[in-house]
Amino acid sequence: MKILSFFVMLLFLYTFLLFHYLQTKVNTLCRMMGDPKHPLLSKEGDVTIGGIFAVHSKLTLSSFEFREKPQPLSCSSVNLRDFRMAQIMIFAIEEINRSESLLPNVSIGYQIYDNCGSRLFSMNSTMALMNGHEFAVEDRCNGQSLIHAIIGESESSATVILSRTTGSFKIPVISQSATCDCLSNRKDYSSFFRTIASDYHQSRALAYMVKLFGWYWVGAVNTDNDYGNYGMNIFINTAQEEGICVEYSVKFYRTEPEKLKKVVDIIKQGTAKVIVAFLTSFEMNNLLEQLSIQNITGLQMIGVEAWITANSLITPKSFKFLGGSLGFAVRKINVEGFSDYVMKEFWDTAFPCSQTERNSSQYALNCSEYQDLLPVKNYNEDVPEQRYASNVYKAVYAVAHSVHSLLKCREQEGCEKGLTIQPQQVVEALKKTNFTVKFGDRVWFDSTGGAVAQYEIVNWQQDSDGSIQFNTVGYYDASLPPDQRFVLNTENIIWVGGQLQKPRSVCSESCPPGTRKATQKGRPVCCYDCIPCAEGEISNETDSNNCRQCQGEYWSNAEKNECVLKAVEFLSFTEVMSIVLAFFSLFGAGLTVLVAILFYIKKDTPIVKANNSELSFLLLFSLTLCFLCSLTFIGRPTELSCMLRHTAFGITFVLCISCVLGKTIVVLMAFKATLPGSNVMKLFGPAQQRLSVFAFTLIQVLICVLWITISPPFPHRNTKYYQEKIILECHLGSIIGFSAVLGYIGLLAVLCFVLAFLARTLPDNFNEAKFITFSILIFCAVWITFIPAYVSSPGKFTVAVEIFAIVASSFGLLLCIFAPKCLIILFKPEQNTKQHMMGKVPTKSI
């Protein structure tokens, strides 16, 4: 039993070891699955550089019936741009092989594959480059790549596939035209390099250029792949930072005709007149076709390097839709000797079907697949316009310089022999590469593996013969300071429709100074209404978001675009109201003087002598001063005028009321003196009358002196009552002082009114008390109504009300007291007798 168990274990162990051996044998042997894919152009060398280009742009698929082995896929439609790239790659390699200073004893070979613009062929070409196209029997996989670097691809999406496939094997990929910013991610694409700048710079430059031309309302359309999506995303983010609004952002791919029609409908319905087209030449051609079908014109196209200089877009009708297009293009560089090379040497040395000797068994060449390339054999007019060829040239030289440093080459001694170069070593060497090519450009790679962003700004223009030209109208260099990056000659730009005037593309017109922007609800910030600034606020720039409040003594002008000094308001002599008030003041003063002259002429008549003529003349003098003091209220307030107007007003009116009070007392005393045994008149004679007037006036003078001494009136700029203007007024200084002046005048007026009221019942012929009562009544009525009018009247009207009160009350005193006497003197002289005054002649009272 034990022996049987032992044999079973041996059998199991033998079976396991045999199975392991067979499995290991299978894994280490390499076998080609399917037919090998041969390079389009190739040459052996010590160092091999691979190349993948879309030499043809159309792929013809054979039918798949699954009854027989499918026929090989065929390519058609020569893509001249990529064919030139393949040619200049060979040109650069041959130039290096002839060089005595760069890789002097090392030859560079190449294997160039045509991917026919197909992702399928692209992957097939990548695998062929990595594995080779021939295997000997029992060849084992050693994990080593047959090539040291790959140049390609042309499109970003295809380059992403290529870089992801080769990345695990650390094979360096150098693209001449793949600009997607996604390839700047060193974590995912650590072995990727490019001799063209990332779209990060181009996308931002597009936004800067749109802003530079004042287009704040644009549409956006992009290719629905890595190239278009990443580029458009950067553009939109930068546009938002710069205050540019994107009305719509739509995308499509070349194989989506229905989606393209929807995109065109959105463009047609939009209001933006500027379209940023982040498209490849394939998608741009499809878009152009739809624009032509629907006859959509008048759109200013802003393009990218992928299509702005694409000759494939030039058709008899394309200028109608793309004329005036503006965009960034790779700099056009003339590589010396290349134009002659493509005419003869290439066809004699590198083109397979032109070789006199070839190993047909090795390559199984079928010249029929090269026949469609022969028509361009004697054509080189497009070479000066090739913008990506120089990038391929730089890429080849970058690999050569990296290998040169790895092989420790010296110009006289040559390169060290026996050194094996791994692709990952080339990757590290490329990071340190820094050299200058023969046409003057310095070649080096930044931290993302990209080159410096330098673009030409190209404009679609039409010559007199109708041919379309891509004219350079400016430059952009991202390595310069922001204010120096753009160099633009706007005078040479032809805009959409062949116009010389730049088109406008805004959602809302600019808000002029004096207004502010108010965003329309639910719409982008570029869509707004222009709201005039409120009173006292200004905006002195176009498209202001907010209005600024004028400070202090400043106010907005009529246009609301500047803060100006507020208008200073005071009652000036030039105003109609001032002239009218001054006229009545002077008229009252003149009338008072005339009455005084009349009284002086008739001073010996009884009516003038009655009731103390001295008081009458003093009253007339004070009334004249009352009329004239109102003039001090007119004009610009000063420290002197402010003190003068209130003190003069207070003193003159007290003098006036004191005289009236004296006359009232005289009337009362005169009738008391007629009583038997009365000696009243001796107690209130002329001397006492003058003294009482002086005493009453002196009290007001003392009040005014105290007021001026303690807190005098002063000019004051009142900015609280009106916001738009300054009221220049006389501040009272001390409210108590002003109240004391008015209160004292009021006290005398009330006292005078009471005494005159008591004397109203005296005989008519000799009774002046009735006129005094009436005059004081008018005086009090005027000043009582003055108080609310004074408080409620704003600005200069306050002063006008005060003047009116002075003039009105003065006229009331003058007319009520002196008009009856003047009437008797002038028109009824028969009543101007002593008998009449004594009441001995009956008369009709006036």
What CATH number was assigned to the domain covering residues 41-60+73-197+338-353+372-444? 3.40.50.2300
CA–CA gap between residue 235 and residue 18 (Å, rounded): 62
User: CA 49 to CA 129: how far, in whole Å?
Assistant: 9
Indicate if the pLDDT at residue 46 is higher than 80: yes
- First vs last Cα of the chain: how many Å apart? 171
Rounded to whole angstroms, the Cα distance separating 495 from 325 reads: 7
Does residue 237 register a pLDDT over 80? Answer: yes
* DSSP 8-state symbol, 344: T
Residue reference for tokens 């730049």: 502
The three-class DSSP label of residue 515 is strand
> Residue range 530-550: average pLDDT?
90
pTM over 0.75: no
Q: Per-residue confidence at 159, pLDDT binned at 50, 70, 90?
A: very high
CA dihedral 770, 771, 773, 776 (to 10 degrees): 180
Residues 6+ apart with CB under 8 A from 721: 727, 794, 795
Mean pLDDT of 350-372: 62
- 384 pLDDT band, cuts 50/70/90, is confident
The Cα–Cα gap between 408 and 476 comes to: 38
Q: Report in angstroms the alpha-carbon separations of 93 from 81, 98, 337, 439, 695.
A: 19, 9, 13, 16, 125
Q: Is 95 helix (H, G, I), strand (E, B) or coil?
A: helix
Question: Which letter, b or e, does each residue of 746-785 get, where b requires 16 or more Cβ atoms within 10 Å of its Cβ?
Answer: bebbebbbebbbebeebeebbbbbbbbbbbbbbbbebbee
Q: Where in the chain are the domains? A: 41-60+73-197+338-353+372-444, 199-336+452-488, 515-565, 576-769
Give dist(CA 299, CA 505) in Å, integer. 10
At 34, is the pLDDT very low, low, confident or very high (cuts 50, 70, 90)? low
As a dihedral over the C-alpha atoms of residue 350, residue 356, residue 362, residue 368, rounded to 10 degrees, the angle is 80
Token pair for 712 = 């005098």
Separation of alpha carbons 531 and 511, rounded Å: 8
Concatenating the DSSP letter of every residue in 520-577 gives PTTS-TT-EEEEEPPTTEE--STT-SS-EEPPTTEEE-TTSSSEEEPEEE---TTSHH
Main-chain phi, psi angles of 479, to 5 degrees: -80, -10
How many angstroms from the chain centroid is the CA of residue 60? 53
Mean pLDDT of the chain: 84
Please answer whether residues 65 and 369 qualify as being in contact, where contact means their C-beta atoms are separated by less than 8 angstroms: no
Model confidence at 689, pLDDT cuts 50, 70, 90, reads confident
* Least confident piece of the model among 280-294, 500-514, 665-679: 665-679
The DSSP symbol for 724 reads S
Alpha-helix residue ranges (DSSP H) falling in 673-734: 680-683, 686-710
What φ, ψ does residue 83 adopt, rounded to 5°?
Answer: -65, -40
The gap from C-alpha 36 to its chain's centroid, in whole angstroms, comes to 61
Give dist(CA 746, CA 771) in Å, integer.
19
Superfamily of domain 576-769: Rhodopsin 7-helix transmembrane proteins (1.20.1070.10)
CA-based nearest residue to 117, from 284, 309, 307, 280: 280
CB neighbourhood size of 739 (10 A) = 13
φ/ψ of 344, rounded to 5, equals -135, -60
The 10s digit of each residue's pLDDT in 757-815 is: 776 665 555 456 677 777 888 888 887 887 787 777 777 888 888 888 889 888 888 88
Residue given tokens 């009520």 in the structure block: 816
Task: Grade residue 668 by pLDDT with cuts at 50, 70 and 90.
Answer: confident
pLDDT interval class at 8 (50, 70, 90): very low
Edge-to-edge strands, sheet with 173-175 = 41-43, 108-114, 47-53, 149-151, 173-175, 192-194
Residue-by-residue DSSP string for 311-333: GGG--TTHHHHHTT-EEEEEPP-
CB 205 within 8 A of CB 251: no
**10 Å Cβ neighbour count for 63?**
7
For 543, the token pair is 């498209």
339: left (phi over 0), alpha (psi -120 to 50) or beta: alpha
Q: Which of 249-253, 540-544, 607-611 has the lowest mean pLDDT?
A: 607-611
Better-scored residue on pLDDT, 90 or 371:
90
**Cα–Cα distance for residue pair 831/846, rounded to 1 Å:** 11
What pLDDT score does 607 carry?
77
| CATH number belonging to the domain at 199-336+452-488, selected among 3.40.50.150, 3.40.50.720, 3.40.50.2300, 3.40.120.10 | 3.40.50.2300
What's the confidence (pLDDT) of residue 145?
A: 67
Q: Which residue is it, tokens 């393949």?
A: 86
Name the helix (H) or strand (E) containing 230.
helix 226-241
Q: What is the dihedral of CA 470, 475, 476, 477, to 10 degrees?
A: 130
Does residue 153 have a cis bond before it (omega within 30 degrees)?
yes
**Ramachandran region of residue 809, left (φ > 0), alpha (ψ -120 to 50) or beta?**
alpha
pLDDT at 298 over 70: yes
Give the integer Cα–Cα distance in Å for 641 and 663: 32
Domains 199-336+452-488 and 576-769 share a fold: no
- Spatial neighbors of 361 by CB under 8 A, at least 6 apart, are none
